[in-house]
Amino acid sequence: MSIEEAVTESAPIFPPPERFQQGEVPVPHINSLEQYKELHEESVKNPTAFWGRVAKELLHWYRPFTQVNYGGFVDGDVQWFSDGQLNVAYNCVDRHAFANPDKVAIIWESDEPGQGEKITYRQLYQEVGKFANVLKKYKVRKGDTVCIYMPMVPEAAYAMLACARIGAVHSVVFAGFSADALRDRIQDAGCKILVTADQGKRGGKSIGLKVIADQALADCPSIEKVIVYQRTGDISVPFSSPRDVWWHEEVDNQSPVCPAETMNAEDPLFMLYTSGSTGKPKGVVHTTAGYLLGATATVKYIFDLHENDRFGCMADVGWITGHSYIVYGPLSNGITTVIFESIPTYPTPSRYWQLIDDHQLTQFYTAPTAIRALRRLGDEHVEPYKLDSLRVLGSVGEPINPEAWLWYHKVIGRERCAIVDTYWQTETGSIIVTPLPGAIATKPGSATLPFFGIDLAVLDPTTGQELLGNDVTGVLAIRQPFPSIARTVYDNHIRYLDTYMKPYHKYYFTGDGVTRDADGYYWIRGRVDDVINVSGHRLSTAEIESALILHPACAEAAVVGINDDVTGQAIVCFASLKSHHADETAITKAFVAQIRTHIGPFATPKRIVITPELPKTRSGKIMRRILRKVAGQEVTLADLEDEDGLRNKLGDLSTLADPSIVPTLIKKVAGRQ
């Protein structure tokens, strides 16, 4: 069933699991719909009182704030707790290391099962302190930018927290990005230090991170030092002295004690590059107090964290989910978090379920694409596992189709767990639409209701008028600021305003389509801009097009997303050539390689269609609408026989400069030309 059908049919409703009320598991923090409604109402009507209280309750402040919130979406000058002072590393590490030094902070699950380790809060304190001292040795100061290009090892978290400790701003670049993509991000942020590893390990394969980093650094004069963590030691890594140093040699000589800097609430904590509708990625900037509060409060209430919980988020630290729900949120709450280095199918498709049983995880958080892929591989990989430690199962990154939701609920959750379909974005810093396990009944495919402090609006995409009441479909916007909303785009505040604040005056624009159903539940429909979501990886079509155009044989390119049963969306590229090329297979391969080199292997297109021309209006605008339908095979060879049918499906083609290109494209996609 598609989400379209699920919204319009009357969707099944699942109340919170009964055992949550029976004393068998801890009583949920938010335990009834009434309690949720009351708190939600307070949080949007009186955000100052609500967030002021929660910020004092959940965070440790060096200097308490006197002002809670300031600014708004109109001027893009949002501030929270602006005269308060605190340190994120102190909140995530020190306060728990003092109270509970022997409690496990991080379970590291290595690529090869059984080779991982457990890191206590005491060890975490020491490792973060040592690495912070290394950064200081290399003259990293408050406000300097540090790039982290690391595999999924605890050292990635140490590096992030060490930056937070001394007030440096980290920019984590996903280790699946290519040398060119890494270079662009380092250059944009003017990073002083690069933290990387000799190699990464994933699914039994090694990835030569240092070699890739060296290619990137050929053109990054701002980098003064490269600190290399030795993950495998398998290859002799090229070292360029005196720029490169080994992590282990550096930390060996350092004291584990490094005072945490006193940071202002609005000092930047990190930036994270994300794709938008233009070719150039944006460095979304999050600040200290608001971000930490959002991450801390959401994970506590949405995953219903209790003191002895072990929380497993399967994302990568290179994406926002890893920042908020592997590192900052769980650690700030003082619970145990998992850093998972491998992939769900290595060495067998039971890896996740084994992990849950081995470590007795209480919460598990992954993406619909993984759920769909594992469901396809068959229930026999799940059945032998008990999975009885679990209470809450989360989904993130893209819409989850009802079938996958139901499978997650029945086969993994054994109908005993709350399923939380959590909707949010890099820009929102933390989850904004979601069920709460003990309070909100769920409907498969719907992210349900707004989190505390989130004041949602559904707008008519063309007029910008707010669509009031229920049973409405439009674009999703937010009426008022909340603590973890991004404050700016690095070095480009105008772009921040143009992208998020200008499209609809007085609102933050999410870029997603949405339906609010008859019960007031939200159903996210996917992006309405040129952003596509492949396996939960956010990509801009413009970025892929820019990569293709750089190839000497490519004249023009247009990229669209099509639906895919496993990856959610998949990439299809249409390209025309500068001159005729006899060997289309060779040129197609070259174009795929081009995208992998400029962005990374995760952006590999499903299909490249070489075409003599792109469908354009007389004024030269590419008609992507037509390409989307052709690529998704919504129009086929049979439609070519029927002119009216074709017009019904594709709309008026007479505005095209050359309508004859449409049959050519359809034939190409069908493999007939």
91 binds ligand WTA (CB under 6 A): no
Stretch that binds ligand WTA, among 103-111, 137-145, 347-355, 510-518 (CB under 6 A): 510-518
Q: How far is CA 55 from the centre of its chain?
A: 24
Nearer to ligand WTA, 425 or 442 (CB): 425
- Please state, as a whole number, how many other Cβ atoms lie within 10 Å of the Cβ of residue 628: 15
**Least distance in Å: CB of 578 to ligand WTA?**
34
Residues sharing a CB contact under 8 Å with residue 619, sequence separation 6 or more, in sequence order = none
Residue 331 in tokens: 């650690």
524 binds ligand WTA (CB under 6 A): yes
Q: Which amino acid is at 164?
A: A
Stretch that binds ligand WTA, among 9-17, 55-63, 182-190, 508-516 (CB under 6 A): 508-516
**Least distance in Å: CB of 288 to ligand WTA?**
20
Contact positions with ligand WTA (CB under 6 A) in 239-278? 274
Per-residue contact track with ligand WTA, 434 to 473, x per CB under 6 A?
A: -------------x--------------------------
Stretch that binds ligand WTA, among 91-99, 234-242, 356-364, 505-513 (CB under 6 A): 505-513
Residue 159 in tokens: 């590096």
Nearest to 524 by CA among 455, 458, 429: 458
What is the b/e burial string over 103-122, where b = at least 16 CB atoms within 10 angstroms of the residue's CB?
Answer: bbbbbbbbbeeeebeebbbb
282 binds ligand WTA (CB under 6 A): no
**Least distance in Å: CB of 370 to ligand WTA?**
13
Nearer to ligand WTA, 90 or 522 (CB): 522
Question: Distance (Å, rounded) from C-alpha 420 to C-alpha 448?
Answer: 9
337 binds ligand WTA (CB under 6 A): no
- Strands 282-287 vs 488-489: parallel, antiparallel or unpaired: antiparallel
Tell me the residue number closest to ligand WTA, measured at CB.
426
Q: DSSP states of 168-232 as a string?
A: PEEEE--TTS-HHHHHHHHHHHT-SEEEEES-EEETTEEE-HHHHHHHHHTT-TT--EEEEE-S-
423 binds ligand WTA (CB under 6 A): yes
366 binds ligand WTA (CB under 6 A): no
Nearer to ligand WTA, 120 or 287 (CB): 287
320 binds ligand WTA (CB under 6 A): yes
327 binds ligand WTA (CB under 6 A): no
- Strands 472-478 vs 508-516: parallel, antiparallel or unpaired: antiparallel
Residue 521 in tokens: 């539940």
Q: E strands of 268-410, at which residues?
A: 268-274, 282-287, 310-313, 336-340, 363-366, 392-396
535 binds ligand WTA (CB under 6 A): no
- Strands 145-149 vs 193-197: parallel, antiparallel or unpaired: parallel
Nearer to ligand WTA, 123 or 425 (CB): 425
Q: Which of 120, 123, 321, 366 binds ligand WTA (CB under 6 A)?
A: 321
Nearest to 167 by CA among 137, 193, 143: 143
**Least distance in Å: CB of 523 to ligand WTA?**
9
**Least distance in Å: CB of 153 to ligand WTA?**
22
Q: Which residues contribute to the site for ligand WTA (CB under 6 A)?
A: 274, 319-321, 396-399, 421-426, 447, 510-512, 524, 526-527, 533, 538
